[in-house]
Chains A and B, each alone.
Chain A
């Protein structure tokens, strides 16, 4: 589960401490003011008289708030200055919000070729990341609480979010701006890997889809082709070259399907293909409930094999 209270990067730590300082400070002031209020109401008049003196009002009511806010203001501004700063040599990733999933592009870098994936942001630890975000339809918001603040994804505009992951792990990102009926089911995994593991993952993702190893999977690929799935989805290395839906070239390597809705396995893939409109009403993929059980197993098996 995502949590801003479990920072996994430097920027997130700064935001965490700002939150702690403000929450603890606000709580202490609230308790103090409440205690003084109760004292003013219930204490004998001769004992509470000091609360109404000019000295108390000037120091407690004017000087104290001015001093506290004068300290908080530069602290907050310094945090604003120091987080989300572009770094040289950052890994560039593009994320495009769609109703209701995430298109993720890794541009070419050095000898590494460009490729796309979906609903999963894989990053190396210790290297700055710049995520350029936009949207193809409505306003979404890109938020990985463990790594810092959220940023709007606005059609026709590119915003950038900069962060560095400090420790490996799987984190959850969410859409933080209401974007339609399935807004609550628009999540993604952030997988932070050791640099060598990331390089291996990137090389693997740039490869075309593997050939089916057994007849059942070959039949699944044929069903995928004849069913017209390739008009919306791309599977690199095959004739499927649709750009409307998620890239499925290595869909089997992802942790989840449906934008973070289910663990990725042959059962959930089959359920998704047959019942997507029941699972995620309003998603732009139709349900293929007319497939026989055997066909469904073959097609789901083929997709699951695309590691």
Chain B
């Protein structure tokens, strides 16, 4: 696979990777802190569990949003000039996957604002 194609695939799957990173950090950190009894610790007055979820969510959300913006720009660019079927597919897939990942990351972060840390 050429370098350009690799970048296309990574762009198409980028949102999903961001979602997976968020999922792993949120569940891993929350489980460890709650399991060890460290969930009451605070940083700058904010609970360590909600703070982890908030920062991870914002970071991965930003990454997914940037990837979505790049995918949309790429998709528009391919509409106005001839493109191969593979290029079109990867472009459409990138828009959809990055868009869905944005929603999934938001959904993963919502419980931090409603439920207690170790519910």
The answer to whether the Cβ of B43 comes within 8 Å of any Cβ in the partner chain is no
**In the complex the two chains form, is A81's CB within 8 Å of B107's CB?**
no
Chain B interface secondary structure, helix, strand, loop or mixed?
helix
Chain B: residues with Cβ within 8 Å of the partner, total of 9
- Contact for B116 among A69, A74, A78, A81, CB less than 8 A: A81
**In the complex the two chains form, is B107's CB within 8 Å of A80's CB?**
no
**In the complex the two chains form, is A77's CB within 8 Å of B110's CB?**
yes
How big is the A interface, by class? under 10
**In the complex the two chains form, is A70's CB within 8 Å of B119's CB?**
no
**In the complex the two chains form, is B107's CB within 8 Å of A73's CB?**
yes
The answer to whether the Cβ of B21 comes within 8 Å of any Cβ in the partner chain is no
The answer to whether the Cβ of B111 comes within 8 Å of any Cβ in the partner chain is yes
**In the complex the two chains form, is A69's CB within 8 Å of B119's CB?**
no
Expressed in whole angstroms, the Cα–Cα distance for A78 and B103 within the complex equals: 19
The answer to whether the Cβ of B115 comes within 8 Å of any Cβ in the partner chain is yes
Least Cβ distance of A81 to chain B in Å?
5
Residues of A within 8 A of B116 (CB): 81
Least Cβ distance of A76 to chain B in Å?
9
**In the complex the two chains form, is B110's CB within 8 Å of A73's CB?**
yes
A218-233 contact mask (Cβ, 8 Å, vs B): 1 or 0? 0000000000000000
Residues of B within 8 A of A80 (CB): 114-115, 119
Expressed in whole angstroms, the Cα–Cα distance for A1 and B12 within the complex equals: 55
The answer to whether the Cβ of A5 comes within 8 Å of any Cβ in the partner chain is no
Minimum-distance CB pairs A-B, first 8: A77-B114, A81-B115, A77-B111, A81-B114, A66-B103, A73-B107, A77-B115, A73-B110
Interface residues of A, Cβ cutoff 8 Å to B = 66, 69-70, 73-74, 77-78, 80-81
Starting from the known contacts A77-B115, A80-B114, A81-B119, 15 additional A-B residue pairs (CB-CB under 8 Å) come to A66-B103, A70-B103, A70-B106, A70-B107, A73-B107, A73-B110, A74-B110, A74-B114, A77-B110, A77-B111, A80-B115, A80-B119, A81-B114, A81-B115, A81-B116
